[in-house]
Amino acid sequence: MDRKRIREEVIEILANKLHNLPRRGDDDSFDYDSQVLVPTITKDPLDIQEVSMDLEDAFGVNFEDVLPGDPGMETIAKVVDYVEARLLRRAKAATAAADDADD
């Protein structure tokens, strides 16, 4: 999955539950990437728990020590970075496993 698709999907998942975030297409000028999740988009820890689980379900990733909104993952762009890195790591691991199998 390329970064553009990951980003679109992340925004869609976040906007589905975080109602301060416009849905894609509602506001073309909206700067999603720099949005600070906490406290700009939500101050509610339950919101964060919910969207974290939704993102985990959608991408098959696990937020381990850091949840969206925490230091290190403050903005939507950083959430996309995290998901993209995890997917890339998984793809590399799958490729390596396939290579090992070929050997």
Site string for other proteins, 43-82 (x = CB under 8 A): ---x--xx--x---x-------------------------
**Residue 7 or 48 having the CB closest to other proteins:** 48
Q: Are 21 and 14 in contact (CB under 8 A)?
A: yes
ω into 39 cis (within 30 of 0): yes
By CB under 8 A, residue 23 contacts other proteins: no
**Residue 3 or 43 having the CB closest to other proteins:** 43
Nearest to 62, CA basis, from 90, 39, 95, 32 = 90
72: left (phi over 0), alpha (psi -120 to 50) or beta: left
Interface ranges with other proteins (CB under 8 A): 17, 19, 46, 49-50, 53, 57
